[in-house]
Each structure stands twice: as structure tokens, then as C-alpha cells.
């Protein structure tokens, strides 16, 4: 076998054998196949797609590139989102589920494309570590019922390399590659029960509901074929989820929800997803579990789980009480309505790309992020604004000139101009 033949086959939509896919994944993982050849194959997949059988083989090959996590815990659950703008649901759902007596073990990734990564968000909490060993991870789960670790070299090393390469080569938005990346990690972390939140819309990798349903179906099939209780739900990402986009900004908003201070769409989505996960874990019907999830927040139990997780992972738990301890941006710029208007839509991908410009994500393999960078959304779709009302505020510490970012952000807003009725004379 050789990489050129494999690239040409996928370029011509000729299915690869299981052995060819295993050879490709193993060769890239151990350094025998260089980045430029793997990039060419990923682009061929992005442009032409691969069959469901190839996707299944790719998932298992990536899973088997490292060890399978064996946690000394009787029953664990996990939840994964396909990514969106302002999606901080894991930081809310994990504490809720653990507060309801179900252990949630989660291995997460960093930002990919225009979407933020749970690990980048968590690491904006002063002192918090995500580079945990399996032993440390298991110990925290025993004590607290909830922990999040970053992808280690022991688990899915193939995905870790491919994930970073996709982000740097414009091959993120591919159903087979998204599916293999997510499911290889989920199967390697070996949770008994798995809920998949598949996003669609302008802020998601899947732009249409039909694409999202296709991805959801193949991920469910792979999860169940591996013997897991697995369910995928499809949710809307046509506007940012919540008000804040960016790492420390999203942690702040997640803590506000856990503190019982914020409701709205973010709260509703988290209660819905938590109830689905609890129901899968046998805690009752979905409606009964929704009541359990809401009570976990209102009682303060979920916030205490989050506080303990932060402490056990080396962070400062006082951020749960004093949000000013989170990193704060040095510079801010508010974009205001230039006329009376009604907001009719957002291009969420452009909102995410604007956050990247401000420093909230990476544009290269080894790029650094600004934990304080991001966007505070100050209106929603359907809202009417008067001239001078705020639309959004751009935040950064590494960027002080907001002119280019402001133009891009404003172009991501769709609106109808209101005209003032004339007075009768």
C-alpha cells in the first residue's frame, strides 16, 4: 500500500478497504505518512465523501490507535456536541447530571474552526488543569461524579493529530470526518451511555437539518454497534447559544446559569439535554428527569458539583462566587444600531470567525488563544432596537483595533429598517 494510491482512490470515489484505512491511520499516527499527504486525503474526503462502511472503519481505526479507557466505576454517561457558536452546554449539563446521582466522565477537545472548545474554556479558569492522567481522572470521578479531561496521548492519538490538521487545512466541515473524530473518542473513553447533540444552522458545521439528521443517524448506528446506549438529538444553531461567545466569557455565563441567575434559551437547551441523558441512564421519564435537572440548579447542588470539580482539577473554586476572578478583557468595543431596526437573523459562522479575529481561537496548528477574547451578544432574533441601542460588544486583550472585526460582525447581522410614521397635520 502507498498513500498516493489511497489519495487517488478517495479522489475518484473508489471505496477503500478496511485494511487500507487502518494502514493510513496507523501510518499517519506513527509519523510514516507526512502531513501533506494526510491533508490531501482529508481534502478528498471533504470534497467527495466516503461510504458509511468506510466511516465505520475510520472510526474504529482511530479508536484503536490508542488504549481504551477502563474506569473503575460501575456506570458512566457522556455527552458530546458537534460544535456551535457559544455552546457551553457541557459546563452546565455535567454538574446537573452528577448532582442527580449519575457519573459523567468527559474527554473534550480544543477549539475547531469557528467553534470554541470545552478545554480552552475550562482552562480560562485560573489554575485549572485538564491534562489529567487516567488515574487522576478516575479519582475525581469517584469523589465528585463529574470531571473533564483533555485528550491524552494514550487515548485516540490518531484523532488528536488529525483533529489539529483538519483545523489548519479547511477540512473541518465533513460528515465522515466529524463522525469519526467524535465517535472514536467517545468509544475510547468507554462510557456506558452516550448522548449526542448534533447542531445545524449558520453556526454549525451542518448547515441544514437534513445534514444534521444524516450525521446523527450514522453516529447513533456506530454507538449502538459498539454496545452503547446511544441517542442523538438535533438542535438549532442559527443564533449564538446564550449571550457570550469566547472562552472566559462562556465560563462566566455557564456559572451564571448554575447560580440560578440566568434563564432563556441556554438554560432551556441544557435542561432538555440533561433530561434526555438522565432518562437514558434510567432515572425516569424525560419529563420526570427535566424536573430533576431543574431542581439540581434551583437547589444549588449543580453549582456545588462544579465548584468541587474546579477545586479537584487545580482551579480556583472561588470563581463560582466571584466572577471577577475570571480573566477580563483589556479592550471592549460596542457595535450599536445605526437606525431603528428589527433583528431578523445572524450568520453565526461569521460571528464565530469574528471571535477568532479577536483572539478567541487558533488559526494555526500551534496558535495561542486569548482567554478574554470574544463577543457579548446584546440582542436576539426578533428583537426591535432603536438607533444607538447596543447589538453586541467585542472583547479582547490582544486586539485593540476593532475596525475590521466590527465590520465583519455587523455584516453578520440581518435586520429590517423601521421607518417612523409621519405625523398628521
Active site residue: 185, 186, 283, 311, which one? 185
For residue 413, what is the DSSP state? E
Active site residue: 81, 181, 184, 275, which one? 181
Considering only CA atoms, which of 165, 201, 218 is closest in space to residue 346? 201
Q: Any catalytic annotation for residue 181?
A: yes
Q: Any catalytic annotation for residue 166?
A: yes
Backbone angles phi, psi at 398, to 5 degrees: -90, -15
Active site residue: 166, 199, 307, 362, which one? 166
Q: How, if at all, do strands 146-150 and 244-245 pair? A: unpaired
Contacts of the segment 42-46: beta carbons below 8 A, 24+ positions apart: 42/162, 42/165, 42/166, 42/169, 42/171, 42/174, 42/177, 43/169, 43/170, 43/171, 44/7, 44/10, 44/11, 45/10, 45/171, 45/174, 45/176, 45/177, 46/170, 46/171, 46/173, 46/174, 46/177
CA distances for 103 relative to 4, 64, 122, 224, 287, angstroms? 45, 25, 19, 20, 20
Active site residue: 80, 114, 186, 307, which one? 80
Contact in structure between 354 and 376 (CB atoms under 8 Å): no
Q: 355: burial class by Cβ within 10 Å (0-12, 13-18, 19+)?
A: buried
Q: Any catalytic annotation for residue 207?
A: no
Considering only CA atoms, which of 109, 209, 186 is closest in space to residue 150? 109
Instruction: Note the Cα 70 to chain centre separation in Å.
Output: 24
Backbone angles phi, psi at 169, to 5 degrees: -125, 10
Q: How, if at all, do strands 229-236 and 244-245 pair? A: unpaired
Terminal CA-CA length for the chain? 85
Active site residue: 87, 120, 159, 173, which one? 159
Q: Any catalytic annotation for residue 80?
A: yes
Spatial separation of the C-alpha atoms in residues 39 and 166, rounded to whole Å: 8
Question: What's the chain's length in residues?
Answer: 425
Secondary structure of residue 138 in the 3-state scheme: helix
Beta carbons within 10 angstroms of residue 227's beta carbon:
9
Largest distance between two CA atoms of the chain = 85
Q: Any catalytic annotation for residue 259?
A: no
Considering only CA atoms, which of 94, 140, 134 is closest in space to residue 118? 94
Contact in structure between 121 and 86 (CB atoms under 8 Å): no
Residues identified as active-site: 80, 159, 166, 181, 185
Amino acid at each position: 500500500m502507498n498513500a498516493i494510491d489511497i489519495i487517488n482512490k478517495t479522489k475518484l470515489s473508489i471505496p477503500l478497504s478496511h485494511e487500507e484505512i487502518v494502514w493510513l491511520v496507523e501510518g499517519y499516527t506513527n509519523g510514516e505518512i507526512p502531513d501533506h499527504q494526510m491533508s490531501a486525503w482529508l481534502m478528498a474526503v471533504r470534497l467527495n465523501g466516503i461510504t458509511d462502511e468506510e466511516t465505520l472503519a475510520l472510526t474504529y481505526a482511530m479508536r484503536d490507535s490508542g488504549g481504551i479507557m477502563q474506569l473503575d466505576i460501575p456506570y458512566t454517561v457522556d455527552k458530546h456536541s458537534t460544535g456551535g457558536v457559544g455552546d457551553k452546554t457541557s459546563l452546565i449539563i455535567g454538574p446537573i447530571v452528577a448532582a442527580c446521582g449519575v457519573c459523567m466522565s468527559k474527554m473534550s477537545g480544543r477549539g475547531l474552526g469557528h467553534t470554541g472548545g470545552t478545554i480552552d474554556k475550562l482552562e480560562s479558569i485560573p489554575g485549572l488543569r485538564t491534562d489529567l492522567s487516567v488515574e487522576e481522572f478516575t479519582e475525581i470521578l469517584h469523589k465528585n461524579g463529574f470531571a473533564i479531561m483533555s485528550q491524552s496521548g494514550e487515548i485516540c492519538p490518531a484523532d488528536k493529530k488529525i483533529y489539529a490538521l483538519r483545523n489548519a487545512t479547511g477540512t473541518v466541515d465533513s460528515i465522515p470526518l466529524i463522525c469519526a473524530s467524535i465517535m472514536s473518542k467517545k468509544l475510547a473513553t468507554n462510557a456506558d451511555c452516550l448522548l449526542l447533540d448534533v447542531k445545524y444552522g449558520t453556526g454549525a458545521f451542518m448547515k441544514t437539518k437534513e445534514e444534521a439528521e444524516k450525521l446523527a443517524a450514522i453516529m447513533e448506528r456506530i454507538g449502538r454497534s459498539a454496545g452503547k446506549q446511544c441517542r442523538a438529538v438535533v438542535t438549532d444553531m442559527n443564533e449564538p447559544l446564550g449571550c457570550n461567545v469566547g472562552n472566559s466569557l462562556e465560563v462566566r455565563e455557564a456559572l451564571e446559569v448554575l447560580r440560578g441567575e440566568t434563564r432563556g434559551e441556554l438554560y432551556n437547551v441544557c435542561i432538555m439535554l440533561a433530561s434526555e441523558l438522565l432518562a437514558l441512564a434510567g432515572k425516569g421519564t424525560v419529563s420526570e428527569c427535566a424536573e430533576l435537572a431543574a431542581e439540581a440548579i434551583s437547589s444549588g447542588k449543580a453549582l456545588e458539583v462544579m465548584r468541587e470539580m474546579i477545586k479537584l482539577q487545580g482551579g480556583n473554586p472561588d470563581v463560582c462566587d466571584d466572577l471577577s476572578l475570571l480573566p477580563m478583557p483589556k479592550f471592549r468595543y460596542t457595535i450599536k444600531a445605526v437606525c431603528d431596526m428589527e433583528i431578523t437573523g445572524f450568520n453565526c459562522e461569521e460571528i464565530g470567525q469574528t471571535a477568532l479575529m479577536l483572539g478567541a481561537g487558533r488559526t494555526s496548528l500551534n496558535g495561542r488563544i486569548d482567554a478574554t477574547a470574544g463577543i457579548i451578544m446584546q440582542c436576539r432574533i426578533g428583537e426591535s432596537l432603536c438607533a444607538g441601542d447596543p447589538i453586541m460588544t467585542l472583547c479582547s486583550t490582544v486586539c485593540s483595533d476593532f475596525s475590521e472585526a466590527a465590520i465583519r460582525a455587523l455584516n453578520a447581522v440581518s435586520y429590517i429598517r423601521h421607518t417612523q410614521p409621519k405625523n398628521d397635520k
